[in-house]
């Protein structure tokens, strides 16, 4: 398993939220199966948030190059099945690159490697569970507010933020995005009961573990 995250603004949550969640999910899913989890990659593609302090964004080519080097190393060492647990939507270009990497190996007749890319937060069962609790949920909202992503001493607002038209603001650049988006929450409440969050996490772990246990040739 290879977890990939990001370091970016998450309103009242940790800058490392995407990294924390990808790493913990990988470990929780793999532990009963005795499968190895490699160190999480903590940086991703997030240029739109670069006006927020603490956000670190990689260039697309940088992340893809790191993914290539890691997969090359794993393949060289004999790994033939790799599950990438991705915690950040902005890393989508790297998901596309994985397909390119697999095709390149096929064309040169290299030993076959299978790689699955898992965007855990919008996988079918997790998405269904989130919607059943509260359909208004998005980046930096309650759906990412787990005990392990909170910052000690920080109390989020006890309100529900209206949905923000983030896609309509991308052309304004980082400063314009921050001016309009404010604290960074895209939509929804900032916190919900821990029982509801643990229910989501159980579904996420089971859905991720199922990818480890089936679907390989």
User: Closest Cα partner for 90 from 129, 51, 119, 130?
Assistant: 119
User: Closest Cα partner for 208 from 95, 84, 94?
Assistant: 84
pLDDT for residue 49? 98
- Mean local confidence (pLDDT), 73-83: 98
pLDDT for residue 143? 98
pLDDT in tens, 179-204: 999 999 999 999 999 999 999 999 99
Tokens of 52: 């927020």
d(CA 85, CA 82): 10
Q: Across the strands, what pairs with 116?
A: 83
Determine the length of the chain. Answer: 217
pLDDT in tens, 1-47: 999 999 999 999 999 999 999 999 999 999 999 999 999 999 999 99
Residue 100 CB neighbours (<10 A) = 11
Give CA separation, 96 vs 68, 71, 100, 115, 208, in Å: 12, 14, 7, 12, 20
Residue 216 pLDDT level (bands cut at 50, 70, 90): very high
Tokens 């076959």 belong to 112
Task: Calculate the average pLDDT of the chain.
Answer: 98
Task: Identify the structural domains of the chain with CATH numbers, from first to last.
Answer: 2-213 (3.40.50.10310)
Tokens of 138: 């998005």
d(CA 32, CA 103): 32
DSSP-derived secondary structure for 143-205: GG--TTTB-TT----SSEEPPP-GGGGGGGHHHHHHHHHTTS--SEES---HHHHHHHHHHHH
pLDDT for residue 182? 98
SS3 per-residue string spanning 32-51: HHCCCCCCCECCECCHHHCC
Asked whether the beta carbons of 82 and 3 are under 8 A apart, the reply is no
Residue 118 pLDDT level (bands cut at 50, 70, 90): very high
Asked whether the beta carbons of 12 and 51 are under 8 A apart, the reply is no
> Between helices 194-213 and 124-133, what is the axis angle to 10°?
170
pLDDT in tens, 134-189: 999 999 999 999 999 999 999 999 999 999 999 999 999 999 999 999 999 999 99
């Amino acid at each position: 398993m290879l977890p990939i995250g990001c370091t970016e603004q998450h309103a009242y949550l940790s800058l490392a939220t995407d990294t924390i969640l990808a790493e913990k999910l990988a470990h929780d899913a793999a532990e009963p199966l005795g499968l190895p989890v490699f160190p999480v990659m903590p940086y991703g593609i997030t240029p739109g948030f670069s006006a927020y302090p603490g956000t670190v964004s990689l260039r697309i080519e940088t992340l893809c190059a790191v993914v290539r080097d890691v997969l090359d190393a794993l393949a060289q060492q004999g790994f033939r099945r790799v599950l990438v647990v991705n915690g950040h939507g902005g890393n989508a270009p790297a998901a596309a690159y994985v397909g390119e990497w697999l095709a390149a190996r096929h064309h040169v007749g290299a030993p076959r490697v299978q790689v699955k890319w898992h965007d855990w937060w919008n996988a079918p069962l997790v998405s269904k569970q989130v919607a059943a609790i509260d359909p208004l949920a998005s980046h930096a909202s309650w759906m990412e507010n787990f005990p392990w992503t909170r910052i000690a001493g920080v109390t989020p607002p006890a309100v529900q933020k209206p949905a923000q038209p983030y896609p309509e603001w991308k052309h304004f650049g980082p400063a314009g995005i921050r001016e309009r988006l404010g604290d960074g929450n895209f939509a929804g409440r900032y916190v919900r009961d821990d029982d509801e969050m643990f229910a989501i996490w159980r579904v996420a772990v089971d859905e991720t573990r199922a990818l480890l246990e089936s679907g390989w040739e």
